[in-house]
Amino acid sequence: MKYVTFFLLAVGAIVGLVALIAPAPGHASGESAPAFVTEIPHGYRDWRWISSAHEAGNLNSLGAVLGNDVAFKAFREGKLPYPDGTIIAALHYRYVPSEENNKVFGQAQSFVPGVPTNIQFMVKDSKKYAATGGWGFGHFADGKHGDAAFMKSCFPCHEKAKATDLVFTHYVP
Ligand code: HEC
């Protein structure tokens, strides 16, 4: 019995020591974890199409939502929550009439992507982005990322899609 007690005390001491020494996640070297995505994920233009969305009103945009392999698989299988490594890209363009196509149709009916406006990303890393539901948000216009104040707007709105792990887009067959 004595030995068991000693053993338990020893284990307890070691666990306590490890907890003291180990840095808190995200504060490894005193720097705080980045709150949002500051680099455009590599190769996103080759990813697969999940769905599209047209926003009218002030945005007047046409968007294509793409996913990397991890994202595509999860979308297709309806897997929730999305696993770490998931990256979703939303490529946004102006929504413009196509004079070229309309000429062929003989009436105004064709709309296509115009100039690119921005690219947005959602990167799943449940440790790094724990404070924002495990998702890192990224917004790039002309290759530059959005400022910290602007980036604060993403998470509160995407939280409204809590039932689908903060993702609004549904996979279309
Ligand atoms: C006012 C609410 C709102 C805000 C703020 C917002 N989003 Fe979204 N986001 C949406 C909705 C709704 C969709 C789905 C419709 C669409 O794609 O236009 C969407 C779609 C997306 C998608 C495609 C994946 C998905 O969830 O469907 C990405 C990536 C994305 N948003 C990133 C961002 C980033 C980055 C920011 C911050 C700069 C941001 N969003 C701010 C509402 C919002």
Per-residue pLDDT tens digits for 69-103: 999 999 999 999 999 999 999 999 999 999 999 99
In the predicted model, what is the mean pLDDT of the chain?
A: 88
For ligand 1, atom 13, name the residue with the nearest CA: 168
**Which atom number of ligand 1 is nearest to the Cα of residue 89?**
29
Task: Give the Å distances, CA to CA, from 56 to 51, 94, 96, 149.
Answer: 17, 10, 11, 25
pLDDT of residue 20: 45
pLDDT of residue 5: 52
pLDDT at 59 over 90: yes
Query: 164, 154, 161: which is closest to 131 by C-alpha?
Result: 154
For ligand 1, atom 29, name the residue with the nearest CA: 121
Q: How far apart are CA 113 and CA 97, in angstroms?
A: 9
Averaged over 144-173, what is the pLDDT? 97
The C-alpha R_g of the chain, in whole angstroms, comes to 23
pLDDT at 22 over 60: no
Cβ atoms < 10 Å from Cβ of 103: 10
For ligand 1, atom 3, name the residue with the nearest CA: 157
